Structure 1
Amino acid sequence: MSADSQATVDPTLVGTTAARAERSGRRVPWRFIGGRVAFYVFTAWAAITINFFLPRMMKGDAVDSYMARSRGELTPDAEHALRALFGLDKSVPLWQQYLEYWGNLLHGDLGYSISAGMAPVGQAIGSALPWTLGLVGVATIISFVTGTALGAVIGWKRGSRLDVFVPVTTFLGAIPYFWLGLIFIAVFSTTLGWFPAGHAFGLGVDPGWNGEFIGEVVSHAILPVATIVVVSLGGWVLGMRNMMLTVLDEDYITVAQAKGMPNRRVMWRYAARNAVLPQIQSFALALGFIVGGTLVMEMIFSYPGIGLLLLNATSAKDYALMQGIFLVLVLAVLVANILADIAYAILDPRTRQTEA
């Protein structure tokens, strides 16, 4: 092949390739989504399998703990019945217990909780989950939106007085949850008396969709939400600011400014839109871990969420309830990551083009 033929490029081929790349950037990334879903299905199977075997590898179980607390009042027949109820009958082969465990899961049966008065595990989790979602969910969304927006502005106006927010928020982020929560209780509840110190609502208030109950829930949630927001704000601010500093050195930002576009449009439409991509993955993980609650926060404020429920289950060696909580936590994290991958592929076409 001659040098002239090597230097010659068919314009038809170039046009076809460009059109194909443009179409691939617009089409729905089904192959990418399918691959990620298959990966997460395998991950869910592995997590559920570990969730089954791990309690059975530990010394003792919920029935042993319950029998010890009964001080010999229960007969061996009662112990055998409890083991059959909780799927811990040692006379049944482990593989059969595993299959029965999967069968119960597929029918929505998570077993029964000893620490919750033999109530179904699903019922115990269902009563605590809304409180955790409302408290930690609202706090996470507020801290993400506020921190990301603040980090974008600080990164855009780098070198200005706004940079003082970076060390301040980083310092606040290094404070433990329990320490800041105790300070808030001492200042805003004990000293000033502005907000309640704990619980989800006051004594004597009947739960219901009425103004009194909603007002009680909001007032009791202000201090825990403020604690979570203050501590977690620094991470979002610092992450978004650093990504903005990286994006601002890109050529397309210089070109957009050279064209005379307004700074506000360049900042939000071009710089922040690309800088926020890594934040989405972190936000998805944070949303997934919302289900697990904030154990220390719920202990300090006596909040009836999943974290406090898990603490009680651990103290009572209530393995059925612990398994149910861990299962819900794992599934929540996996679903949040799937949604983050889909959003990432939609916002960044390079991701799905790589997977195509």
Structure 2
Amino acid sequence: MRYYLNRVGFLVLSIWAAITLNFILPRLMPGDPAASMIAKQAGNINPNALNAIRQQLGLSNGPIIVQYWQYVQHLVEGRWGDSFQYFPTPVINIIASSLPWTLVLLGVVTVIAIIVGTLAGIWIAWRRGGVADNVLPVVTMFGQSIPVFWLGLVLIYFLAFRHPFFPLAHGVSNNISPGFTAPYIKSLIYHGILPGIVVFASTISGWVVGMRNNMMSTLGEDYVVFAEAKGVSTRRLVFSYAARNAMLPQLTSMAIALSTLIGGQILIEQVFSYPGIGFALTTAVSSEDYPLIQGMFLIIAVVALVFNFIVDILYGWLDPRVRRRGATS
């Protein structure tokens, strides 16, 4: 129990640090973001408009402690400011509309790659020395070595432009009304196939090779050899004795993969004009949309911390030794 309480405390402390850093960074930027925005739009600075935008950004001449307290209070209340680019749309509404696209497509494909790669690594390690052991890691590593933006452009050119099997861009057809309906879901899947292939091809190799190497090391352990000599069934030997322990390093890799899920696939979303967090973030940066950038960075940090927390809990559940060490630290 102490291990889990320590993990919860670390999560809370990390989120607080992310919020504080997100508060400090805009105030360390040179110049005045509000004045820059007004000058870009109108050419001259209206004092009333400048003051209004400074309030939206949470910038004031008051004490820094007061500004920080107001910033945290606004975060808790869901008042993250209004986007400059999509004014007067609130930042939290834009994040809420962009985040599901990234989580559903990239999250589902990444989880599929983890499951398929881990199972493939278990299989080829058990059948080590066979054809799959010699071919599959090489093929998957070739797919991972291709730059994701180049692979995406190649797929778009051959499968969407030259031969229109798939759509060129976007996440859903414009002529379909959003809703939990068969045409809408079909359009979502149809538009997500090409970016899904790119994500899968660029991530599968690490899971295959990593699990294979872990399994090869675990299968040589004395307890596995002893269990095999006792006549333990192959299924139990592979999954209960070898794979469970070999999977522990995979959880660390999974934590890294899931924590970079939201902000790590910006190029893929940009190539396919997919309306996720990465696409919205690049658009916000190019438009100098400071409130939206600030909100995006915060949500990326929080999601990364939550995923790491979930993996820590799974790690402690799979390996009791981790719980004991964590409880005493």
Superposition TM-score, scaled by structure 2 size = 0.94
Q: 1:172 aligns with which of 120, 137, 143?
A: 143
Q: CA deviation at 1:286?
A: 2.2
Provide the rounded CA distance (Å) in 2 between the counterparts of 1:243 and 1:292: 28
* Residue number in structure 2 paired with 1:278: 249
CA contact (8 A) 1:55 1:61 kept: no
Provide the rounded CA distance (Å) in 2 between the counterparts of 1:303 and 1:61: 32
* Residue number in structure 2 paired with 1:18: none
CA displacement, residues 136-172 of structure 1 (integer Å, 9 cap, x when unaligned): 1111111101111111111222211112111221121
Provide the rounded CA distance (Å) in 1 between the counterparts of 2:69 and 2:25: 16
Alignment of 1:180-199 (within 5 A): 180-199=151-170
Q: Does 1:143 find its partner at 2:113?
A: yes
CA contact (8 A) 1:131 1:304 kept: yes
Superposition TM-score, scaled by structure 1 size = 0.87
How well do the aligned residues superpose, as a CA RMSD in angstroms? 1.6
* Residue number in structure 1 paired with 2:228: 257
Provide the rounded CA distance (Å) in 2 between the counterparts of 1:263 and 1:147: 20
CA separation of 1:61/1:177 partners in 2, compared to 1, >3 Å: closer, same or farther?
farther
Provide the rounded CA distance (Å) in 1 between the counterparts of 2:17 and 2:267: 28
* Residue number in structure 2 paired with 1:157: 127
Q: Does 1:341 find its partner at 2:300?
A: no
Provide the rounded CA distance (Å) in 1 between the counterparts of 2:180 and 2:76: 33
* Residue number in structure 1 paired with 2:281: 310
Q: Secondary structure at the match of 1:139?
A: helix
Q: Secondary structure at the match of 1:123?
A: helix
Provide the rounded CA distance (Å) in 2 between the counterparts of 1:310 and 1:283: 24
Q: CA deviation at 1:69?
A: 2.1
Provide the rounded CA distance (Å) in 1 between the counterparts of 2:320 and 2:267: 40
Number of equivalenced pairs: 326
* Residue number in structure 2 paired with 1:110: 80
- Counterpart code for 2:318: L
Q: Does 1:326 find its partner at 2:297?
A: yes
CA contact (8 A) 1:113 1:321 kept: yes
- Counterpart code for 2:291: A
Provide the rounded CA distance (Å) in 2 between the counterparts of 1:61 and 1:216: 44
Q: Does 1:84 find its partner at 2:70?
A: no
CA contact (8 A) 1:51 1:326 kept: yes
CA contact (8 A) 2:168 2:272 kept: yes
CA displacement, residues 286-327 of structure 1 (integer Å, 9 cap, x when unaligned): 223333361111111111110011111111222211121111
Provide the rounded CA distance (Å) in 2 between the counterparts of 1:269 and 1:77: 68
Provide the rounded CA distance (Å) in 1 between the counterparts of 2:68 and 2:94: 23
- Counterpart code for 1:172: G
List alignment gaps of at least 5 residues for structure 2. Answer: none
Q: Secondary structure at the match of 1:113?
A: coil
* Residue number in structure 1 paired with 2:260: 289
Provide the rounded CA distance (Å) in 2 between the counterparts of 1:181 and 1:72: 40
Q: Does 1:58 find its partner at 2:29?
A: yes
Provide the rounded CA distance (Å) in 1 between the counterparts of 2:236 and 2:54: 65
Q: 1:229 aligns with which of 200, 220, 242?
A: 200
Provide the rounded CA distance (Å) in 1 between the counterparts of 2:299 and 2:200: 24
Provide the rounded CA distance (Å) in 2 between the counterparts of 1:43 and 1:254: 43
Q: 1:98 aligns with which of 68, 84, 88?
A: 68
CA contact (8 A) 2:35 2:45 kept: no
List alignment gaps of at least 5 residues for structure 1. Answer: 1-29
